[in-house]
Chain A
């Protein structure tokens, strides 16, 4: 292990592979970004060229911001993503704590039941979900999306977090009990700070699919005032004509907030991913 780490050839190969992968992964993003700053003609003539004095244009951004209520879409996406994440983390952590800390009948079965959602995609139940939302009058509200995304995120959250919660020392919780802390205080003040890296991991894993989702906004909340960013960008894609400038600009702007959230979580995330492995 140590030897492999210090061997320069291995290090070179490893970094080479990683850099190559990074380039491949970032290439589409790069293409989107450069083309969002070009005129329509320039996009089609030379899709891979950088924008220059001739081809530079902000027309895409102007269209995107003018047509449709782009800021509203933006705000909707942000509300849905943040609220869903908060609920997933809160309820996921609570369920994980109960499963890992308290011995009760059916503990293992309950854990399995909650983990089942990892294997069964929630989209299979779309029709039933839509019926439920219609029945409860939640169609075309942000709550519909928040509830569905919370349900979608919980299984993995419970699964990951309960593994981490099991590692929190029993003595620590017992010390808290003797110090007179309630079970809630133990959970919020002692356990949660210790599993913060795991929480960040769960947050990142859930954040991107929610932000990028087109399926549920399209089905559950297609109204103008509840459109999310991904759904809002679709107006520029038509059956016969597509306003590529606007689409690319909208997508470029959509990348930003996730990027910011990711940077916030990433330091914790790296700790979360490696702490399980290295220990």
Chain B
């Protein structure tokens, strides 16, 4: 068990590209932290630096109470699960799981016991004598997990472990990984580009964009109080509605001149309004007019797509509210509106 501390950790590649700008954060013992962001945001680089597979250009990294900048991956007391499983193709499942232990000169009977334990935990008992090529994607991922578990590491690192699985299996494995982490109580860092995985699995989420940390917070903080336009648009499906508006003396006016009502704010001038689709209510009168052009039926709820102030706008309604395309009136709880600076995209 260990906490992980990053002090102004930075990564610059020899060709001058700054993959990760100076980042500092602390991951508590036993915490499940998800690094999320689009491709090329530096999340994998950050993880690989923590694993020791990539040099740290500047700053210090501590695992437990130890600065590990110059410690080999093998001596950092970590285990890692890779996106393409990275199982040793010429070894059986049993050997794959045992190899790390064997290499650390663990006694044979202890290896035997640990492998059996892990196999039981992961439902792999029947497959121990098979080669990885004879397993399905989900089973291979379990073997990779088994290889990580038997080592009893202080820190688990997951590098997009579910991206190669189909949607159904991904949902199932998501729950399994989360439950396993709860049971073992091992500090875990999980990299994904899928915001659903981030929201469902994390104790805390770190949102990255362009090599920079945009926001660190619990899933609910990130969802309800995004720190920037980027976080607002990246997290949540469908994403937050972001519309240009101007505020003059607390009065909000949309780009095409439609008045949205008053807001308790000291902000002035051009802003972006952030409104979650589920914070919008359909009202019979007295609201803002919107023309619903398209309805997406999702079973439990529906998504109405239209334009507000000339900009795309999505509304989330529950299944028992009947809606037809056409003109509707909406109202938004002023407390649910997030205001962002129009130029910088940061929260006001």
Q: In the complex, what residues of B have CB within 8 A of residue A176's CB?
A: 88
Complex Cα–Cα for A177 and B82 (A): 13
Of A171, A181, A193, A194, the residue contacting B103 (CB under 8 A) is: A181
* Cβ A171 vs Cβ B100 within 8 A: no
The yes or no answer to A2 lying at the interface (CB within 8 A) is no
Of A169, A180, A190, the residue contacting B74 (CB under 8 A) is: A180
Q: In the complex, what residues of A have CB within 8 A of residue B90's CB?
A: 193-194
* Cβ B74 vs Cβ A178 within 8 A: yes
Interface residues of chain B, those whose CB is within 8 Å of chain A, are: 51-53, 72-75, 78-80, 82-90, 99-100, 103-104, 147, 159
Q: Which of B51, B72, B79, B99 has the most CB of A within 10 A?
A: B99
Q: In the complex, what residues of B have CB within 8 A of residue A172's CB?
A: 86-89
Q: In the complex, what residues of A have CB within 8 A of residue B52's CB?
A: 177-178
Question: How many interface residues does chain A have, given as a range?
Answer: 10 to 19
Of A169, A181, A193, the residue contacting B86 (CB under 8 A) is: A169
Complex Cα–Cα for A171 and B158 (A): 12
What 0/1 pattern do residues 154 to 182 of A give for CB contact below 8 A with B?
00000000000000010110111111110
* Cβ B89 vs Cβ A174 within 8 A: no
Q: In the complex, what residues of A have CB within 8 A of residue B88's CB?
A: 172, 175-176, 190
Complex Cα–Cα for A193 and B52 (A): 26
Distance of A198 from chain B, by nearest CB (Å) = 15
Of B72, B82, B99, B100, the residue contacting A174 (CB under 8 A) is: B82
A-B contacts, 11 listed (Cβ < 8 Å): A171-B159, A174-B51, A175-B82, A175-B147, A178-B53, A178-B73, A178-B78, A180-B75, A180-B100, A180-B103, A194-B89
Of B74, B78, B82, the residue contacting A171 (CB under 8 A) is: B82
Complex Cα–Cα for A172 and B82 (A): 9
Q: In the complex, what residues of B have CB within 8 A of residue A171's CB?
A: 82-86, 159
Distance of B174 from chain A, by nearest CB (Å) = 21
Q: In the complex, what residues of B have CB within 8 A of residue A185's CB?
A: 103
Distance of B176 from chain A, by nearest CB (Å) = 20
Q: In the complex, what residues of A have CB within 8 A of residue B84's CB?
A: 169, 171
Distance of B12 from chain A, by nearest CB (Å) = 15
Of B51, B83, B89, the residue contacting A178 (CB under 8 A) is: B51
Complex Cα–Cα for A5 and B11 (A): 52
Complex Cα–Cα for A185 and B103 (A): 10
Distance of B101 from chain A, by nearest CB (Å) = 9
Distance of A225 from chain B, by nearest CB (Å) = 42
Of A177, A190, A194, the residue contacting B73 (CB under 8 A) is: A177
Q: In the complex, what residues of A have CB within 8 A of residue B80's CB?
A: 174-175, 178
Complex Cα–Cα for A190 and B283 (A): 65
Distance of B268 from chain A, by nearest CB (Å) = 52
Distance of B256 from chain A, by nearest CB (Å) = 51
Complex Cα–Cα for A259 and B140 (A): 40
Complex Cα–Cα for A44 and B348 (A): 103
Q: In the complex, what residues of A have CB within 8 A of residue B87's CB?
A: 172, 175
Complex Cα–Cα for A87 and B224 (A): 65
Of A174, A180, A181, the residue contacting B53 (CB under 8 A) is: A174
Q: In the complex, what residues of B have CB within 8 A of residue A169's CB?
A: 84, 86
Complex Cα–Cα for A169 and B89 (A): 11
Q: In the complex, what residues of A have CB within 8 A of residue B104's CB?
A: 180
Q: In the complex, what residues of B have CB within 8 A of residue A178's CB?
A: 51-53, 73-74, 78-80, 100
Distance of A79 from chain B, by nearest CB (Å) = 30
Q: In the complex, what residues of B have CB within 8 A of residue A181's CB?
A: 74, 103
Closest to A179 in B: B100
Closest to B79 in A: A178
Interface residues of A in 170-214 (CB under 8 A from B): 171-172, 174-181, 185, 190, 193-194
Distance of B56 from chain A, by nearest CB (Å) = 16
Distance of B46 from chain A, by nearest CB (Å) = 15
Q: In the complex, what residues of A have CB within 8 A of residue B99's CB?
A: 179
Distance of A218 from chain B, by nearest CB (Å) = 43
Distance of B8 from chain A, by nearest CB (Å) = 25
Q: In the complex, what residues of A have CB within 8 A of residue B53's CB?
A: 174, 177-178
Interface residues of A in 18-32 (CB under 8 A from B): none
Interface residues of A in 246-276 (CB under 8 A from B): none
Across the A-B interface, give the 8 residue pairs with the lowest CB-CB distance, nearest first. A180-B74, A179-B100, A171-B86, A175-B86, A171-B82, A172-B86, A193-B90, A178-B73
Given A179-B74, A180-B74, A174:B103 Cβ within 8 A: no
Distance of A65 from chain B, by nearest CB (Å) = 44
Q: Known A-B contacts: A169-B86, A172-B89. Give 12 more (CB < 8 A).
A: A171-B86, A172-B87, A172-B88, A175-B82, A177-B53, A178-B52, A178-B73, A178-B80, A179-B100, A180-B75, A180-B104, A185-B103
Complex Cα–Cα for A171 and B86 (A): 6
Q: Which of A175, A176, A193 has the most CB of B within 10 A?
A: A175
Distance of A200 from chain B, by nearest CB (Å) = 15
Complex Cα–Cα for A179 and B100 (A): 5
Q: In the complex, what residues of A have CB within 8 A of residue B86's CB?
A: 169, 171-172, 174-175
What 0/1 pattern do residues 95 to 109 of A give for CB contact below 8 A with B?
000000000000000
